[in-house]
Amino acid sequence: MGTRQDPNGTHKNGGGPSTALAYLDPKYWDERFSTEEHYEWLKDYSHFRHLIQSHITPNSSVLELGCGNSQLCEELYKDGVTEITCIDLSAVAVENMQKKLLSKGFKEIKVLEADMLDLPFSNECFDVVIEKGTMEVLFVDSGDPWHPRPATVTKVMKMLEGVHRVLKPDGIYISISFGQPHFRRPLFEAPQFTWSVEWSTFGDGFHYFFYTLKKGRRSLDDKGSSKEKLEIPSICLFQDELEGEDYLFRTNIDELNC
């Protein structure tokens, strides 16, 4: 969690790129994954396992977006979920993840190179779509978080429409994120989506958000995107309170919110 472990087993704390814009460059991720063995964005599974368990059962078919070199899929597998597909845009991440899972005997987990903005799956085929810190990548050049650039909104909506499409009629999208509800709700609650939107928080000093979007559960009196300012937990923190390089994702929001 928040630490990088290279193949020699040494840890590098906070060794991120000089600017968060690098996260938009697929070459950045390929280079990074060619030397980095494990890095867990936000928090590791142990911190939100209690929140996941009521939504995922051993029979669930699960799609993880942007797996990187996280242990999330392994942890789900150890908890009895065997039908897991992971995707990542980075060919290096995919190859490394495939090798690692095979070496650990987790042969059923599928790992594919794919873009979350263009999901190569048929409609309504997963019970759960999950991502941790992956949607965040789309926001690194969003500008003002209250008024994200149209190009950012277009990409995020493309991703969300794909997630909504591949979920079964009663499927759940779980998004584990830094993004606060007043920034995420207008996007999650766009009129074309039939899911309800709820969230919990986890973490100690810093609150992370655990969103659950349940397809087919949107209430009929919810007319669409919420524009009102919502009550939010007090999470205006200094960057050095975040572990590793997580602070890079937060830069825009902190500047405007603190």
Ligand X SMILES: C[S@@+](CC[C@H](N)C(=O)[O-])C[C@H]1O[C@@H](n2cnc3c(N)ncnc32)[C@H](O)[C@@H]1O
Residues contributing to the site for ligand X (CB under 6 A): 29, 39-41, 65-68, 70, 87-90, 93, 115-117, 132-134, 137
Residue number with CB closer to ligand X (41 or 209)? 41
**Residue 121 per-residue DSSP state:** S
Q: Where are the alpha helices (DSSP H) in the chain?
A: 26-35, 49-52, 72-78, 91-103, 150-166, 181-188, 247-257
Please choose, from the candidates 120, 97, 103, the residue with its C-alpha nearest in 3D space to the C-alpha of residue 29: 97
Residue number with CB closer to ligand X (97 or 235)? 97
Question: CB 132 → ligand X: shortest distance, Å?
Answer: 4
Please choose, from the candidates 138, 250, 230, 144, the residue with its C-alpha nearest in 3D space to the C-alpha of residue 182: 230
Question: CB 121 → ligand X: shortest distance, Å?
Answer: 13
Residue number with CB closer to ligand X (114 or 197)? 114
Residue number with CB closer to ligand X (132 or 185)? 132
Question: CB 243 → ligand X: shortest distance, Å?
Answer: 12
> Which parts of the chain are beta strand (E)?
3-5, 11-13, 38-39, 61-65, 83-88, 110-113, 126-132, 167-177, 196-202, 208-214
Give CA–CA dist 177/170, Å, rounded: 22
Question: CB 122 → ligand X: shortest distance, Å?
Answer: 18
Residue nearest to ligand X (CB): 66
Residue number with CB closer to ligand X (118 or 204)? 118
Question: CB 221 → ligand X: shortest distance, Å?
Answer: 34
